[in-house]
Amino acid sequence: MIEIRNLTRLYDGKPAVDDVSLTVERGQIAALVGTSGSGKTTLLRMINRLVEPTSGQVLIDGQDTRGLAPHLLRRRIGYAIQGHGLFPHRSVAQNIATVPRLLGWSPDQIRDRVDELLSLFQMEPAAFRDRMPHDLSGGQQQRVGVARALAARPELLLMDEPFGALDPVIRAKAQADLRDIQRRLGTTLILVTHDMEEAVMLGDRIAVMDQGRLIQYAPPTEILTAPATPFVRDLIGLDQRPFHLLSLTPAFALATEGHATGPAIAREATLRDALAECLWSGRDALPVEGGGIITLEALRASAAPQARTAE
Ligand SMILES: Nc1ncnc2c1ncn2[C@@H]1O[C@H](COP(=O)(O)OP(=O)(O)OP(=O)(O)O)[C@@H](O)[C@H]1O
């Protein structure tokens, strides 16, 4: 569990981060969102002490990070940034092995871990181990960057706009893979993003920042349906709200008894995908793979839960 208590960082007497407190439970994902310059990166970097706090505390499983040497702290915390930051003259395997080597793992342990992570990220170890970063696509480099951050099984992973440079198709795949891997490994993850869609898709909770202050910290559904301030509402974008809500739920969760014709939608597709399919194919209901149907009426209710409550 990560506890951030009254964390403040001043630059030239002005707060970049202003008295922020929040807790991230073990195995959960917190997504930090906010306008440019709102203090997201500074907050993230205070957690692994790449930036020293002016005041306040960070506790990891109850341990105050001020009592630890910063370089030792950083070996316990994975860190992945936009543009991946791979060492250009080291192979994929050497890049991934960076922290395990610092920690004195044996060559066998390191090789096994590198291969395990490459497989986890769907990169055939024999084909990728010895490649150099410049011989990889942007998406592959990004995956190696995240694999490197996870190599020493950190209890905490910090990510700063990790998918910012990827095109939309690869980005969606990278997000889904990350979610899957994070769930499997049980890693606690704090992620900075500009993209509300990404925050909604990945975050168990979303932290909204403005001018260094934490404005709201809540699960995505609450951020979307009960924004704490007009700033939060504007950040979500009113026109996007129903679609964000629909993208939170998999198709099978809304499946009911009934009959529908035409191609079925995958169980793990989102309700947003289901709505798109209804509109595109002109159907009022879709079969769901494995059983049940989704109706356009149910999709409407899910897209605007407060409208339903108001009735
Ligand atoms: N090293 C520094 N020296 C002086 N001011 C800084 C420094 N680092 C950050 N700041 C200031 O602190 C504020 C918060 O910056 P930060 O990078 O944390 O914001 P951000 O929300 O991550 O922004 P972005 O989304 O644009 O990356 C900004 O006003 C920035 O100019």
In a 3-state reduction of DSSP, which class is residue 255? coil
171 lines ligand 1 (CB under 6 A): no
Residue nearest atom 11 in ligand 1 by C-alpha distance: 16
What separation in Å is there between the alpha carbon of 225 and the centre of ligand 1?
29
The predicted model scores a pTM of: 0.86
Q: Across all residues in the chain, what is the average pLDDT? A: 90
DSSP one-letter string for 40-86: HHHHHHHHTTSS--SEEEEEETTEEGGGS-HHHHHHHEEEEETT---
Nearest atom within ligand 1 for CA of residue 41: 22
Given a cut of 80, whether residue 83 has pLDDT beyond it is no
The pLDDT confidence band at residue 37, using thresholds 50, 70 and 90, is very high
The pLDDT confidence band at residue 311, using thresholds 50, 70 and 90, is very low
Distance CA(219)–CA(203), nearest Å, equals 7
Confidence (pLDDT) at 306: 67
The pLDDT confidence band at residue 137, using thresholds 50, 70 and 90, is confident
For 22-26, 101-105, 138-142, 256-260, which range has the lowest pLDDT when averaged over its residues?
Answer: 138-142
What separation in Å is there between the alpha carbon of 211 and the centre of ligand 1?
10
For 47-51, 206-210, 245-249, 273-277, which range has the lowest pLDDT when averaged over its residues?
Answer: 245-249
ipTM above 0.85, yes or no: yes
Query: 42, 51, 81, 210: which to mutate for ligand 1, most atoms within 8 A of CB?
Result: 42
What separation in Å is there between the alpha carbon of 205 and the centre of ligand 1?
23
Residue nearest atom 7 in ligand 1 by C-alpha distance: 11
